[in-house]
Amino acid sequence: MKRLALKSKDVRIGVFVCHCGSNIAGYLDCKAVADYASTLPGVVYSTTNLYTCSESGIAEIKRAITEKKLTRVVVASCSPRTHEPLFKSACKEAGLNPYLFEMVNIRDQCSWVHMNSRDEATEKAKNLVRMGVAKAWFLEPQEDFEMPIEARVAVIGGGVAGLSAAESLADMGVSVVLIEKSPQLGGLTLKLNSLAPHLHNPDDLVNPLIERVEHHPKIKVYKESSIKKIEGYVGNYRIELDVKDQGVIQEAVSAVVVAVGAKPYIPQGLYGYDGERVITQFELEQRLKSKGVGDAKNVVMIQCVGARSQTEGEKSYCSRICCATAVKNALILKERFPDIKVSILYRDIQTYGSDFEAMLWKARSMGVRFYVYDPSDPPKVADNAVLVRSKIFSDDVLELPADIVVLSTPLVASDEAPVIANLMRIPTDANNFFLEAHVKLRPLDFATDGVFLCGSCRFPCTSEEARIQGMGAAARVGALLAKGKVISSALVAEVDSSTCCGCQGCLRICPYGAITYDEGRHVCQVNPILCKGCGACTAACPSQSVQLKGFRPSQLLPQVRAAMESLKEMFVSCEL
Amino acid sequence: MIRDKEHHVLVIGGGIAGIQVSLDLAEMGFFVHMVEKLPSIGGKMAQLDKTFPTNDCAI
Amino acid sequence: MDVGRHPKIELIAYSEVEKIDGTVGAFDVTIRKKARYVDESKCTGCGACAEKCPTRVPDPYNEGLGERKAIYRYFAQGIPSTYTIDPDACRHLAGLRAEKEGADKSKIKKCGVCAKICQAKAIDYSQQDQIIHRQVEAIVLAVGYEVLKPEGITEYGYGRVPNVVTAIEFERLLSASGPTAGHLYRPADFVGKKKMPEHLPHAKRLAFIQCVGSRDGRRFIHCSGFCCMHSIKEAIIAKEHDSELEAWIFGMDIRAVGKGFEEYRLKAEQIGVKFVRSRVAEITKGPNGLPIVWYEDTRARRVYSREFDIVVLASACLPPKDAPLLAEKFGIELDSFGFIKTRPFAPFDSTREGIFVCGCARGPADIPESVAQASSAAARVAQVVLQEARKVAMQ
């Protein structure tokens, strides 16, 4: 194999082998590793520490950098995930570029997994250190990217989630542009008759919120607007809107909150839906709010219509809020018309938590009837009744008289969701709900920096949950904006345009939308602010044109070779 | 935003909710004092093996 | 980890708040820092002390299924990584106390091994509790919840019938860092034994009982929100460990209402987890010393009994034990379920201005909900603190 040529004058490596108390020293000979390191080409200083991460360990690193004029530091200790930032800061404080630091894991990857083979573990640690030193030879100084960021945010969607986000942000001193497609703020909530579980009037929640938002000095509201274009990245978004009676407007913002909500599913062709006698739960809300239910004596509600289904065209998920809504409306019907008979046909009654469960108990005590049905044998809607086989009573089919049949259908993604997803290149799932960065730990962030989400466009939720998520998204934005700048690690991908052939393999594989294609020059380019340094693009590139700084082939291949060869065999000290 | 004076907040409880609220407030520029009655933070989540629905490790 | 390293977070662990005086914008908080008998600034978390400590006690982190030493770390990756001496378990501290009370010196067993072995010289048997004060503008209560210990539900046999465990105990059994390193042994086969016996059989038949203490007119009517999901999860993971294992989930309604949850439930069905619509009547001890579950399958309209190796009780999520005490100490109200009460349309405001609440302390919530709530509570705190500051500035 070819020997690698280097300029040896600039490389003065310091190696620090950590005992980690007894975590490493208890299982391998640290002194032997440090002695071995001192024989490696380029290593001018080699020592052991009890705890390199302790105050004294850090002080020693800084002192060695100054006294021995080190130009590279290698620490052989635990996982980079624990103390790499600490060691890098130490280098920086001593005047050494923090990217000239390399960490070798001889704990998690050596002493902790070879607890009964002291000699072999010591040999392995020596090999690992040799690999780290090989890489250290080829490290390059780097600078982090800093970009100033202005406290100005766009919120797309003027329902409860969007309004809550806007209000929260504005109270924190952030300028907000609120964009709503309809003439009226308030979204789906304002169209409801009442809010579970306490049966509050939605106007009492939404109207004061709308009032605050419309009159807040820090919020600009655009109604009856559609978004034509959203370009850019965190700190630098440009939005083009078409606003009724105002024409095309440009807005520049640093971050975007997506709150476009959801809409009720219309169960065409299911259960004889006709919008008159067989209606949706949402349509029932409208009637309860206005004209009422006439002289209906029997109401039968059917849950999970078009939901929890594997049938083409229907939805597979449980829409979370429909059971609580049905129980709420059943309660209201009973309160208004004590003699009305209300039955709910269900698969599972999803009145989760404390207040919703209490609502269920109240409904039962008021005489609302509950019948479970099996999805393989669903209810049938006849002219004056609903037929259901509820096996918990008998194998017979029950005939429940029904003047009105109410179908509880799921909330589905709004028509705006795929449009926004496309414009902003943010991901949606199979149901067109937006896909967050991490379903558990980062439910309000997108993987792409600078974009956040809240409310039913993420997944069906109650008005209170929408408010909570809106405020939460505001906090996430606040955290981004608080420092006044965005700092991005230097270890990002970079395209050599002289060898790039424009195949766009990297662009397609990038999970962060950090790569764009320059039509004019037929090459790809990486946005260093959005790049997270995952390296997927470098694996996809057929010509090694895109490389990850700090992990270039010219840095990694010597490291790999050093696993098997001695460095003296690998290197020649002549000019490249 | 929060630049003129340093504001202090107390968070009682070091489970996932306490941790998240502390991190968010700290990132926004607040100084957070977090009090936890057990010897270390992590709460109930630290006792779980994996979490639903992704079966990620709880730690 | 992020919390431990953040320059703007002061972590005061192993401590409790004793008093809150003042009002929003100007609270004076009294905190008791309990003595660890270990100097935080010196302890490096190396663990040599625990290795040598001669005293073993049941480990609350493993729900009593395993043991830990008198000097311990709550769990391996815990932050802070400082060790703590349990004053009720440590024989040296007990000896010192007895000495002080004038007991017969020859009868006192002392130790001191940890202090001798500690290379950082961090052990300090003379450490005292410390009272410290902090001035803050707002307070967030994220004090979590408690799992119902189901001894009181006598028909389920917890504590009487062998191999009946709570869900959190089961989590410890499944966990690679738990008392059985993730092997699904039956607890009755090893708990309380001095050494883990060899060649224990693995549990092959699991029963998960939902709504234990929840949705129960005699005990707690509320639904604990996340137990259907964690039972499904535990069943799926147990089957991943062993595909031949049988897992039955007994519940009235299976509440899989979050994002991706219905799909997760479907996955469980597809890999053979059985769902029985029922409310288990009783758990008895069978002739083999294993639990027998008595239930009515409501769809079949028949009563059955069936033997299982381990029965997992999805025990209710309750407000923390000391909630009433906290409420009194902090001047806030609890709701009718015993959780911390919040104001209508202000989902994180407690009934005392300047004190906020998020997470399970407010009511049952799963992890994504708790995380979202925490972020929004942060926004609410920011809003209120800044408003107060502006008010003061204008005076």
Instruction: Label each residue of A522-571 as H, E or C.
Output: CEEEECCCCCCCCCHHHHHCCCCCEEECCCCHHHHHHHHHHCCCCHHHHE
- Say if residue C129 is in the same domain as residue C14: yes
pLDDT tens by residue, A265-275: 999 999 999 99
pLDDT tops 60 at residue B58: no
Give residue C49's domain range: 2-136
For residue C215, the model assigns a pLDDT of 94
* Cβ within 8 Å of C, A 195-254: 198, 200, 204-205
Encoded amino acid at A502, one letter: G
Contact C214, C223 (CB under 8 A): yes
Q: Are the beta carbons of C376 and A443 separated by less than 8 Å?
A: no
The residue-averaged pLDDT of A518-524 equals 93
Q: Are the beta carbons of C347 and A468 separated by less than 8 Å?
A: yes
Round to whole Å and give the CA distance between B5 and B3: 6
pLDDT tens by residue, A31-76: 999 999 999 999 999 999 888 887 778 889 999 999 999 999 999 9
Q: Are the beta carbons of A174 and B1 separated by less than 8 Å?
A: yes
- Residues of chain A found within 8 Å of residue B24, distances taken between Cβ atoms: 475-476, 478-479
- Residues of chain A found within 8 Å of residue C119, distances taken between Cβ atoms: 21, 50
- Residues of chain C found within 8 Å of residue A22, distances taken between Cβ atoms: 46-48
Round to whole Å and give the CA distance between A209 and A197: 20
Contacts of B4 (CB under 8 A, 6+ apart): none
The residue-averaged pLDDT of C291-310 equals 95
Chain A neighbours (≥3 Cβ pairs under 8 A) are: B, C
Question: Residue B7 — pLDDT band, cuts 50, 70, 90?
Answer: very high
Structural domains of chain A in order of their starting residue, each with its CATH number: 10-142 (3.40.50), 152-263+413-485 (3.50.50.60), 268-409 (3.50.50.60), 490-549 (3.30.70.20)
Å from A172 to nearest chain B CA? 6
Cis peptide before C80 (omega within 30 of 0): yes
pLDDT tens by residue, C161-192: 999 999 989 988 888 778 888 889 999 998 87
Sign of the alpha-carbon dihedral angle for C150, C154, C160, C163: negative
- Say if residue C305 is in the same domain as residue C156: yes
Q: For chains A and B, what is the number of CB pairs under 8 angstroms?
A: 31
pLDDT tens by residue, A433-474: 999 988 877 889 998 889 999 999 999 999 999 999 999 999
For residue C6, the model assigns a pLDDT of 81
- Say if residue C118 is in the same domain as residue C243: no
The 8-class DSSP code of residue C173 comes to H
ipTM associated with this complex: 0.88
pLDDT tens by residue, A130-187: 999 999 999 999 999 888 999 999 999 999 999 999 999 999 889 999 999 999 999 9
Split into its structural domains, chain B has a count of: 1
Å from A229 to nearest chain B CA? 29
Q: Which residues pair with A454 in a beta bridge?
A: none
Query: 3-state class of C225 per DSSP?
Result: coil
Sign of the alpha-carbon dihedral angle for A542, A544, A547, A552: positive
For residue C363, the model assigns a pLDDT of 93
* Cβ within 8 Å of A, B 1-59: 1-2, 23-24, 27-29, 51, 53-54, 56
Among chain B residues, the shortest Cα distance to A477 is held by B28
- Name the most confidently modeled range: A63-72, A82-91, C6-15: A63-72
| Mutation choice for B interface testing from A152, A316, A436, A441 by most B CBs within 10 A | A441
- Residues of chain A found within 8 Å of residue B53, distances taken between Cβ atoms: 439
Q: Are the beta carbons of C1 and A23 separated by less than 8 Å?
A: no
Encoded amino acid at A294, one letter: G
The sheet with strand A451-453 has its strands ordered as: A219-222, A175-179, A152-156, A255-258, A451-453
Chain B neighbours (≥3 Cβ pairs under 8 A) are: A, C
Residue B53 lies in a domain: yes
pLDDT > 70 in chain A, percent? 98
What backbone phi and psi angles, to 5 degrees, belong to A18? Answer: -95, 135
Whether A481 has its CB under 8 Å from any CB of chain B: the answer is: yes
- Say if residue C169 is in the same domain as residue C312: yes
User: How far apart, in Å, are the Cα atoms of C344 and each of A50, A352, A464, C335?
Assistant: 56, 19, 10, 12
Give residue B43's domain range: 8-57
Q: Are the beta carbons of B28 and A172 separated by less than 8 Å?
A: yes
Q: Are the beta carbons of B9 and C139 separated by less than 8 Å?
A: yes
Write the residue in A439, A440, A482 that is nearest to B28 by C-beta: A482
- Say if residue C293 is in the same domain as residue C241: yes
Write the residue in B41, B51, B54 that is nearest to C3 by C-beta: B41
Q: Where are the alpha helices (DSSP H) in C32-133?
A: 48-52, 91-100, 113-117
- Say if residue C93 is in the same domain as residue C162: no
For residue C1, the model assigns a pLDDT of 58
Instruction: Report strand pairing: A397-401 vs A385-389.
Output: antiparallel
SS3 track for A408-477: CCCEEECCHHHHHHHHHCCCECCCCCECCCECCCECCECCCCCEEECHHHCCCCCHHHHHHHHHHHHHHH
Contact A155, A257 (CB under 8 A): yes
Q: Where are the alpha helices (DSSP H) in A54-140?
A: 55-67, 80-93, 118-137
Mean pLDDT of all residues belonging to chain C: 90
Split into its structural domains, chain C has a count of: 3
pLDDT tens by residue, A379-416: 999 999 999 999 888 899 999 999 999 999 999 999 99
Contact A343, A364 (CB under 8 A): no
Residue B3 lies in a domain: no
- Say if residue C384 is in the same domain as residue C298: no
- Say if residue C173 is in the same domain as residue C113: no
Write the residue in A356, A372, A392 that is nearest to C301 by C-beta: A392
Give the domain-ending residue among C72, C103, C136. C136
- Say if residue C230 is in the same domain as residue C304: yes
pLDDT tens by residue, C112-142: 899 999 988 999 999 999 999 999 999 999 9
Residue B46 lies in a domain: yes
For residue A369, the model assigns a pLDDT of 96
Write the residue in A439, A475, A482 that is nearest to B1 by C-beta: A482
pLDDT tens by residue, C373-391: 999 999 999 989 988 888 8
Q: Which residues pair with A517 in a beta bridge?
A: A524
Which two three-digit tokens encode residue C352? 């005392």
- Say if residue C40 is in the same domain as residue C188: no
The structure's pTM equals: 0.83
Contacts of A523 (CB under 8 A, 6+ apart): A495, A497, A500, A502, A517
Q: Are the beta carbons of C139 and B39 separated by less than 8 Å?
A: no
Round to whole Å and give the CA distance between C343 and C341: 7
- Say if residue C207 is in the same domain as residue C252: yes
Q: Are the beta carbons of A151 and B51 separated by less than 8 Å?
A: no
Write the residue in B2, B51, B54 that is nearest to A482 by C-beta: B2
Domain CATH number, residue C359 = 3.50.50.60
- Say if residue C166 is in the same domain as residue C312: yes
Whether B19 has its CB under 8 Å from any CB of chain C: the answer is: yes
Round to whole Å and give the CA distance between C337 and C221: 8
Instruction: Compute how many other C-beta atoms are within 10 angstroms of the C-beta atom of residue A316.
Output: 15
Give the domain-ending residue among C80, C110, C136. C136
Å from B3 to nearest chain C CA? 11
Round to whole Å and give the CA distance between C231 and C210: 8
Give the domain-ending residue among C108, C136, C164. C136
Write the residue in B2, B24, B54 that is nearest to A439 by C-beta: B54
Whether A326 has its CB under 8 Å from any CB of chain C: the answer is: no
Alpha carbon A362 to its chain's center: 38
